[in-house]
A and B are shown apart, each in its own frame.
Chain A
Amino acid sequence: AQSVTQLDSQVPVFEEAPVELRCNYSSSVSVYLFWYVQYPNQGLQLLLKYLSGSTLVESINGFEAEFNKSQTSFHLRKPSVHISDTAEYFCAVQGTGFQKLVFGTGTRLLVSP
């Protein structure tokens, strides 16, 4: 079975500052890793994913995450956040081979002016 730990329930940050949202996972098999974002009053949507290949993956709106197998981590980073990035971010893990997707408890990113 897989599990995900997001230690930070809330991360407040000022606009244009960098941010890192931490995610650690546990699994006995190879995994796929994901970050989903949930904007206020909207459904979850996929932000980025790691399936294989390059360990650094990027989203279209400037976020990036790096798969670190030795540290079992998949932290999400952005060098300069915007007010519009305010949302809840969920890290998720899936064991390869039709395993179910397991979500972390989420990190609320609060960007203020």
Chain B
Amino acid sequence: EAGVVQSPRYKIIEKKQPVAFWCNPISGHNTLYWYLQNLGQGPELLIRYENEEAVDDSQLPKDRFSAERLKGVDSTLKIQPAELGDSAVYLCASSFGGGLTGELFFGEGSRLTVL
């Protein structure tokens, strides 16, 4: 069974440029998450989707970040414009049944460097 797939694995951009990350969850998982992992920190939830609906986006900086999951399967996270402080690893995860018992399946992450 294929795991959570993320792309790109690495991205280097200059500040003020836009960037997008893509995630394809495990087949059949209706819940999708985007997490932010800063260096030396644990993952922090940015947004959680139940199918197409964003049910928790309280931690998503909406002035520059946006996300979509149009068909309830894969998802895109966008940053426009990127700032130096956005350098981090962006993790996508999925689960079945809303993650009621906390078992999430993570992708390998997309590492962003903003110069």
A: which residues have CB within 8 A of B? 4, 9, 32, 34, 36, 41-46, 49, 51, 90, 92, 94, 98, 100-101, 103-106
Contact = CB atoms under 8 A, between A and B. Distances in A.
Contacts, number: 56
Interface residues on B, range: 20 to 34
Interface of B: 3-4, 40-45, 48, 56, 91, 93, 98-109
A32 B41 CA distance: 21
B57 to A, nearest CB: 12
A106 B104 contact: no
A31 B62 CA distance: 30
Nearest to B38: A105
B101 to A, nearest CB: 6
A103 B43 CA distance: 6
A10 to B, nearest CB: 10
A105 B37 CA distance: 10
A44 B106 CA distance: 6
Contact of B108 (A34, A42, A90, A94): A42
B54 to A, nearest CB: 13
A98 B102 contact: no
Contact of B98 (A44, A98, A105): A98
Nearest to A108: B40
